[in-house]
Amino acid sequence: MPGLLRGVARTAVVAGTATAVSNRVSRRQQGRWAAQQEYQAPAPQPAPPAERYAPPAADMTSKIEQLKQLGDLKAQGILTEAEFEDQKRRLLGS
């Protein structure tokens, strides 16, 4: 019986050691994978302030030119007052 008990004890020690090593390896791999994902994934950039999206000056110049053309068309009688106001609203986006 002592030989059988010794064999069971040895098996328990080997199984416990194998489990501990396996768990440690798994934790180490998960840590490495997590570190790689953090390293590879860039941090999200903060949204730029709204003032950066102001329309460029060239866009405003073109709108002014279009308003002048609309005014000329109205002065020539090609556009009515209502048509002029409608086109002006569309142009200015309001």
Give exposure, 42-66, as e/b (b: 16+ Cβ within 10 Å): eeeeeeeeeeeeeeeeeeeeeeeee
For 63, residues 6+ apart whose C-beta sits below 8 A from its C-beta are 91, 92
**This prediction's pTM:** 0.39
The pLDDT of residue 62: 85
The pLDDT of residue 44: 65
E-assigned strand segments in the chain: none
Structure confidence by residue, pLDDT tens digits, 32-52? 888 777 666 566 677 666 555
The pLDDT of residue 40: 67
Asked if 50 and 79 touch (Cβ cutoff 8 Å), the reply is no
Q: Report residues of the chain scoring pLDDT below 70.
A: 1-2, 38-44, 47-58, 94
Residue in the structure block whose two tokens are 């329309």: 55
